[in-house]
Amino acid sequence: MAEDRELARDIVQFTQAGSGLHLRKYQVEVARAVIHSAMDHLGLSIVVMFPRQSGKNELQAQIEAYLLGAFNDRDCEIVKVSPTWKPQSLNAMRRLERALRRNIYTREDWVKEQGYIYRLGQARIYFFSGAPVSNIVGATASLLLECDEAQDVGIEKWDREISPMAAAYNATRVFWGTAWTADTLLGRELRLARQAEQEDGLRRAFVLTADQVALEVPDYGKFVAEQVRRLGRSHPMVRTQFYSEELDSESGMFTPQRLALMQGEHTAQQQPEDSKIYALLVDVGGEQALKSADLTGSGQTSFTNLLAVQNNPSHHDSTAATIVEVDLSSLSDDGLQAPTYRVVHRRLWTGVRHSLLYGQIKALAEHWHVQRLLIDATGVGAGLASFLGRSLGEGRVIPFTFTARSKSDLGWGFLAVIETGRYKEYLPGSFNPEEQNQLQEVFWQQARLCRSQVLPGPGQLLRWGTPDGSPVHDDLLISAGLCAALDGLAWSQGISVVLPPRDPLAGLPPVY
């Protein structure tokens, strides 16, 4: 370093005296372990799993600045890999640059080379993207090899192209990230680090939870508490992003605990009630002609026939409609600030032409005086959504287009609605119309068979639905899940009705 080396022998002295930054206790533990392994050539593989926004990225920058300063008189290299170049590698470079500029021991001596290399004296750090298509073979990490957001870097990419960078000097390797699934690179390295700890007693795994962060940062604890109230403690995002709990990469989406949360205490309805607010949620299926065109219109279709149609692998998905009562009382809950949805009625059509389906859905919406009609506008549903929007009002009809991203977001949102107790099914029983009990049983079967898969990569995509070859489709389930897309919409307390347009010729004298 340029000035007082004695003062900067420790990372705490370096950050406090150099830039006035006070590292938190949990950050100091990690920093000292990484620096000790790098400076004493231990060649450890260290795993750091921190909750979101708990200071992981700032800690990386401070360790990098410290090592560049400590080894500035030697020809050595640090290599840092992020899942993407933009924005992750660029953000990492900006953080390091800020750390170098603010510290009195480094601010005069560093330079940037070739757009992705920072040099202080003879020591350098190289920034690379670990995206599948990136070409980074050939770099050497003689001092430190870092993998940021390691849960999003492919295992094959790491093993084939990145890990060999540390081989020549047995450089220390650090895997930074936030919990996701057990089969990620971060998950694999965490298990290997814990196994090595048991063998030699050297700590390699640093796994932190939000509760531990809150002990030093009370405001952080308040923020996380709000997220728990809003999403639920068992929501996958809360478990991974704040409590460092890994998920199964593929599992049943609706656990027994979630199914229990979904059960309400109300009955099904055939008619709307005064002063209640309703929404209609429609998942649009195909038009393949079957004899049982309307499974609920007459109320005479048996449960056996209903399952027979659902179990027929040759038929297209049915069009499913779910009527929910929208309870606005939970909007006043500071932790929720969103409506509660109670399912009160269902309909299911299979093989009905969309020209006929349009009239039945329109009649259903008018009968229930729904304030919102949220409809699947993907593919064949686009025309149906457009016609309904013209007849019922564009502001009243909300089209929803399914893509990999939008369905993932819907799935995460539906889980949040469930985990916070804002989705409720009607009670089964003889007090309900029989077809409503039948349809609900199919819904529960779809929910129990629904599988979810968390896809690898930075997008955190959730793939969910009943798998191919499943005894039932997932039309009723998807229809119900559309309630998550209602969150954040504006609602009025009055009943929404469609008023016929005024006749422009009314009141004018007759023309002869």
pLDDT at 314 over 70: no
Same domain? For 189 and 318 the reply is no
pLDDT at 298 over 60: no
Same domain? For 435 and 311 the reply is yes
Pick from 316, 481, 458, 338: which is nearest to 407 by CA? 481
Same domain? For 186 and 322 the reply is no
Residue 215 in any domain: the answer is no
Residue 352 in any domain: the answer is yes
Residues of the domain holding 447: 248-486
Q: How many domains does the chain have?
A: 2
Tell me the pLDDT of the chain averaged across its residues.
88
The answer to whether residues 64 and 80 touch, using CB atoms and an 8 Å cutoff, is yes
Task: Give per-residue pLDDT as tens, 362-408.
Answer: 999 999 999 999 999 999 899 999 999 999 998 899 999 999 999 99
pLDDT at 320 over 60: yes
Task: Give per-residue pLDDT as tens, 215-240.
Answer: 999 999 999 999 998 889 989 999 99
Pairing relation of β-strands 110-113 and 205-207? Answer: unpaired
Same domain? For 264 and 199 the reply is no
Q: Average of pLDDT values for 84-102?
A: 96
Same domain? For 393 and 472 the reply is yes
Distance from C-alpha of 242 to C-alpha of 255, rounded to nearest angstrom? 21
Same domain? For 290 and 421 the reply is yes
Distance from C-alpha of 73 to C-alpha of 52, rounded to nearest angstrom? 35
pLDDT at 326 over 60: yes
Same domain? For 333 and 423 the reply is yes
pLDDT band at 495 (very low <50, low <70, confident <90, very high): very low
Task: Give per-residue pLDDT as tens, 113-123.
Answer: 999 999 999 99
pLDDT band at 355 (very low <50, low <70, confident <90, very high): confident
Residue 373 in any domain: the answer is yes
Residue 492 in any domain: the answer is no
Task: Give per-residue pLDDT as tens, 360-372.
Answer: 999 999 999 999 9
Same domain? For 162 and 16 the reply is yes
Q: Which residue has the higher pLDDT, 340 or 332?
A: 340
CATH of the domain at 450: 3.30.420.240
Per-residue pLDDT at 335: 77
Same domain? For 286 and 397 the reply is yes
pLDDT at 160 over 90: yes
CATH of the domain at 68: 3.40.50.300
The answer to whether residues 465 and 495 touch, using CB atoms and an 8 Å cutoff, is no
Residue 434 in any domain: the answer is yes
Q: Percent of the chain scored above 70 by pLDDT?
A: 88
Distance from C-alpha of 117 to C-alpha of 129, rounded to nearest angstrom? 13
- Domain termination residue (choose one: 208, 233, 260): 208
Residue 74 in any domain: the answer is yes
Per-residue pLDDT at 189: 98
- Domain termination residue (choose one: 208, 234, 258): 208
